[in-house]
Amino acid sequence: MNATRITRHSTILTIVIAGAALALAACNSPDKGTQVGGDTPSTPSPSRTTATPEALPPDGRQLFDFLLAKIPKLVAKVPCSCCPYSLAQCYRGACPTSCGPCNRIGRQVYKWHVQGVSDDDIISRVKIRWPRRG
């Protein structure tokens, strides 16, 4: 008797990817229940953080030279409160380097400039804040 052994290797693996059958809904409605947190985007307090007055040199000759180098056109237009000239002229000798207003105005002018205030606005602010003495 012939024993015929038929070995059947039926190792056909049919992989059905069920995921392919998933039809994506065309109109996914967003989750209306989502609650956006009440947090407002962190706004820095309107302090003087954007300007960096710390980066300015100390009062006096150093500050004057710094401003003349950095914003020459602006200080040429900003009126000094303690003399009939512009800050640029004060910084070139019309005022002593120890002049308080010249140092203070210059500092503030530079700060506004760093903050993006226009030259015209800066000048009008200076005129309001430091009116020229008669």
Cα-based distances in Å from 15 to 11, 18, 20, 22:
12, 9, 11, 16
Shortest Å, Cβ 65 to Zn ion: 15
Q: Does 71 bind Zn ion (CB under 5 A)?
A: no
User: What's the length of the chain?
Assistant: 134
Burial class (CB in 10 A: 0-12, 13-18, 19+), 110: buried
How many residues form the binding site for Zn ion (CB under 5 A)? Answer: 8
- Per CB under 5 A, the segment of 5-13, 15-23, 36-44, 89-97 that binds Zn ion is 89-97
Q: Does 63 bind Zn ion (CB under 5 A)?
A: no
Q: Does 122 bind Zn ion (CB under 5 A)?
A: no
d(Cα 64, Cα 101) in Å, to the nearest integer? 12
Instruction: Give contact residues for Zn ion (rule: CB under 5 A).
Output: 80, 82-83, 90, 95, 99, 101-102
